[in-house]
Every structure is written in C-alpha cells, then in structure tokens.
Amino acid sequence: MSKLYVFLPCYNEEQNIGILIDQWVGQKDELARKGVELIIRPIDDCSTDNTREIMNLKKEQYSQTLVQPVFHEVNKNLRGGLNTSIETFLKTGQEGDLMCLMDGDATHDPKYVQPMYDLLEEKNLDCVIASRYQPGANVVGLKFHRKMMSDFAKIYYSMVLRVPDVKDYTCGYRIYRLSAIQKLVEKFGHEPIKEQSFACMMEFLYKLHLCGIRFGEVGFELRYDKKQGASKMNVFKTMKNSLLCAPKFKKLKKQM
C-alpha cells in the first residue's frame, strides 16, 4: 500500500487547523479503498496562539500513526514550510508514495484529493493541482481585489512561464509523486525553494516544470468564507513580488 503524506504548513491557525485535520481524517477510508494509507503532517511555524496545542490534541485523538505534527524551532515563513515538507517527505517516503500540500486555513476542502488522485493515476501524471480555472471550479467569499489579482496572475504567468497543462500557478493545493520531488532536489539542491513571499508556490511549480514534470488540474471550490481569522497576505506586496519573480524564474531555463 502506498502512502499519502499530507503536509499542512500553519502559522496562528488555531481556529482552522483542528477542523482541517478532522476533514482529512474523513478521507482516510476512501483513500484506503484505493490502496493509499493517509498520514497527516501539520507543520507549526512557531505560532504564538494555540495552534501547536491543537495539533497535539489531534495526535492524541487520532493516534500518532495518523497525525504526526512537525514543529519548527524558529519561524521560517511559507518558504520554510515548503522546504520542511520536501525534506521530511524525502526522508520518510518510499517508491510510489505521494505528497499533498495545502493551506492550513481551511479554505481548501480535502475531499478534492479523491479526483486529484484519480487523475494522477489515470493519466500517469507527476503533479495534480486543485485549480480555480477548470470546469466545476468556484470561488466563494473572496474579496473583489483578491479575485482580480488571481485572475491577472493566471494570465500573466501563462504568458511568461508557459507551463503545459497549467492554468493555476499559485494555488498551493497539489499532489506530487515522490519521484517528482526527488528530481527537484537533484536539480536544485537542498532547500530548493528560495522565495520568501507567496511567489514561492509559483517557484515550486516552475522548477518542477524544468525537471520535466507532467501536470494536470482538477476544478475545485475555494471557500474563503470558511476561513476564521484575518488573512496574512499583503496583497499589493504579493503582487509586486510575483511580477518581479516570474521573469527571474524564466531565466532559470536559459541557465540550464
């Protein structure tokens, strides 16, 4: 039986992480019927609220086999959460295993892992993205300026980076094969993600593309109305960084 390691990077998500872990546990039996064992690995990035305590409570509730928290000793931001996920997956994963990453704020519903996994297997892909730009997709509760930024990002990144079969460059809800992550680290080294801002998700995707990774997308419903607590994203700073980063990533291809 292959394993699916679900990494949930979190900072001050005490209102959301318990709900999200419960939702993931709800997918356990259906994944098992497909021959996949679920392992949930929430990552606490030195939260100042009760996020860590809730993770430990969920570990006690569901067992250490199912819920295995990871605790940073220093705050590393989203970039650090991605690199920790990559490093941990490479250490514990075996041939045929999968890694799923998603936001820890309960805006992504774990139920979409089922069609994502099905597409991964059906098309023999390396990475499947939960996309806001595929049939059946919907966005609920997102402020107008945030939606406009996302739509602009889709157009801009598609023009600059041109990754085949990808429309959603920034959504963090993705499934990866172990072999894809191994290729990433072989080509870009330890801690392959360098960007500190939310542009790190785009960096992750594009570097995988440069490794010859095959992508697919599944439409999903993004539910910002379910998120508890304030957003941590500085919208205009994120937009500025993304505009500057895309041409920089494009240059990586010329350097190879």
Report the CATH number that the domain containing residue 41 is assigned in CATH: 3.90.550.10
pLDDT by residue (tens digit) across 129-149? 999 999 998 887 666 666 767
The pTM is what?
0.91
pLDDT by residue (tens digit) across 8-18? 999 999 999 99
Residue that is written with structure tokens 């957003």 in the block = 231
- In the predicted model, what is the mean pLDDT of residues 177-189? 97
- In the predicted model, what is the mean pLDDT of residues 140-167? 80
Residue 39: pLDDT band with limits 50, 70, 90: very high
Q: Write down the number of H helices and E strands in the chain.
A: 9, 9
> What's the token pair of residue 198?
């939310």
Which pLDDT score is estimated for 95? Answer: 95
Query: Could you tell me which residues come within 8 angstroms of residue 102 by beta carbon, excluding any fewer than 6 positions away?
Result: 6, 8, 108, 110, 130, 172, 173, 174
Structural domain harbouring 215 = 2-255
Can you say how many angstroms the Cα of residue 197 is from the centroid of all Cα atoms in its chain? Answer: 14
Residue 195: pLDDT band with limits 50, 70, 90: confident
Number of domains in the chain: 1
Please tell me which residue, 187 or 153, carries the higher pLDDT value: 187
- In the predicted model, what is the mean pLDDT of residues 106-110? 90
Residue 119: pLDDT band with limits 50, 70, 90: very high
User: Does residue 197 surpass a pLDDT of 90?
Assistant: no
The percentage of residues in the chain with a pLDDT greater than 70, rounded to a whole number, is: 87
